[in-house]
Structures are given as C-alpha cells and as structure tokens.
Amino acid sequence: METNAPTLTSLVLVPGHWLGGWAWDAVAAELRDRGHYVIAMTLPGLDPDDPDRTSRGLVDQVDALRSAVRGAGADGSPVVLVVHSGAGFPASVFLDEDPTAVSRIIYVDSGPSADGAVFDASVPPDQREAPLPSFEQLVASLDGLSEEDLELFRQRAVPQPATVMRTPVRLTNESRRDVPSTIVACSYPSEAIMQMAREGNPMMAEVANLRDLELVDLPTGHWPMWSRPTDLAVTISNAACQ
C-alpha cells in the first residue's frame, strides 16, 4: 500500500528576549509560502496576558519548547528548531535533555550555551523583571531597522522574567553537541564568531565544541527577522532542507 509520508521539514521559531511569536510574522509567512509547517512561539514569561509571567523560569521555557517541537512533528515530519538571541539558553537545555528531538537547530545571531552559562549574572536576586532598555543602551546592533521597526519593538516588548536572565544553565549530555547546527551570523561575521570560539569567549565558547556545524553569513543587525526577513526565510529553509 502506498503512503504519503511528509517530506518538508516543520519549523519551530523562537524569538529572543522581550519578544513574542509575532516577531517572526514576516519570516513565518515566507516560510509557509515555501511549503513549511511553522510554529512561531512565545516563550513562557513573554505573554503579556499571562498574570503569572514574571514567575516563569527556564524550566517553563524548556517545557514549552518540548511541547512545541512535539506538536510540530506530530505528523512524522522532521523538525528544525530556530532560535534567536537569548532563546539559545532554553534551547541548549532542551537539547541536553533530548538531543534527538530535532533534526537540526538553527541559531539566528545566537549560539549554544555552555554548562554554567548565565545570560546576565548582574541581575539582582530580588528583581522580578528586566524591561527592554533604551535603544541607546542596548548592547546589540540595530542596523537595518527602520523607525517603524523600532517603534513596534518598543510598543510590543514585554519585560523579560528576571529569573531567566540570572539562572545558570546546567548541561551534562555531550550528545547535544552532535545535533546538526547552523549559525546564521548577522551582527558578527562567522569568521569573528569562530575566532571568539577558539579564544574561549564566554558568549561563543561552546561553538568550538559543536561536531556538525554550518556557518552562514547574513550581514545585518541583531534582528534580521525585521531587517532582512525574506533573506532570513530563504536561509532558514535552505538549512532546514539539508
């Protein structure tokens, strides 16, 4: 009996700090036009309608990733996890717990975390949330963003639960390093990323341990889903369909 097994990869898109699934709208539309099934998720703690959002922690975010990946692959299709910026932290824990859950992970201006890494150890223990800083204080490139982009960012940004910012990740399963990985280098060129990795820079040190790594340069700022959405969608689709 002939069966119609799914062949196109399903994609789970995860935005970084202060953002919800809405941040991927333009990219998700492009990917769906290319035939992919797409889930653009909002991590726990970043839903403005959640009355308990400030108490959501890293464990909640990891559980949400697991649920989204299972849902995306429910039809038997392979699943690729796409994470932007700080979403690399819960993604690293998720892959540590289940390195076979996805066929590939794509880091968008992001990278894997090392055991013991913390996003911002300076966040005080009594602080409940971390709002979006002023654009002048952001330690990230705004290249390619219009005034309209910045205004939407400011209007829709949700303060990050502070516990997520200061909680160190605990990783023990070296098989996470075997997961096929793609880094889409935007605000730093791939050559600079690999130099940081070789030098043990805390932000990129774990990259040196990946055993199946592809690097793709997409020069722009830290939010390519707004500055180069079509190019980012093509890059994601190409990497996912390997």
pLDDT at 72 over 60: yes
* Residue 114 forms part of a structural domain: yes
pLDDT band at 126 (very low <50, low <70, confident <90, very high): very high
Provide the number of structural domains found in the chain: 1
What is the reported pTM? 0.95
Alpha-carbon gap, residue 187 to 221, rounded angstroms: 5
Percentage of the chain beyond pLDDT 70 is 97
pLDDT at residue 7, rounded to an integer: 52
* Residue 78 forms part of a structural domain: yes
Alpha-carbon gap, residue 207 to 61, rounded angstroms: 22
**Cross-strand pairs, 106:** 82, 182
For 212, how many CA atoms within 13 A lie in the half-sphere containing its CB? 15
Residue 17: phi, psi to the nearest 5?
Answer: -60, 145
Alpha-carbon gap, residue 173 to 170, rounded angstroms: 10
pLDDT tens digit sequence for 21-37 = 999 999 999 999 999 99
* Residue 47 forms part of a structural domain: yes
pLDDT at residue 6, rounded to an integer: 45
Q: Virtual CA dihedral for 94, 98, 104, 105, nearest 10 degrees?
A: 10
* Residue 211 forms part of a structural domain: yes
* Residue 172 forms part of a structural domain: yes
Contact assessment for residue 92 and residue 169, using Cβ atoms and an 8 Å cutoff: yes
pLDDT tens digit sequence for 4-13 = 444 589 999 9
Alpha-carbon gap, residue 85 to 203, rounded angstroms: 11
pLDDT at 215 over 50: yes
Percentage of the chain beyond pLDDT 90 is 94
Domain range spanning residue 85?
10-240
* Residue 5 forms part of a structural domain: no
* Residue 2 forms part of a structural domain: no
pLDDT tens digit sequence for 161-170 = 999 999 999 9
Look up the CATH number of the domain holding residue 198. Answer: 3.40.50.1820
pLDDT tens digit sequence for 176-206 = 999 999 999 999 999 999 999 999 998 899 9
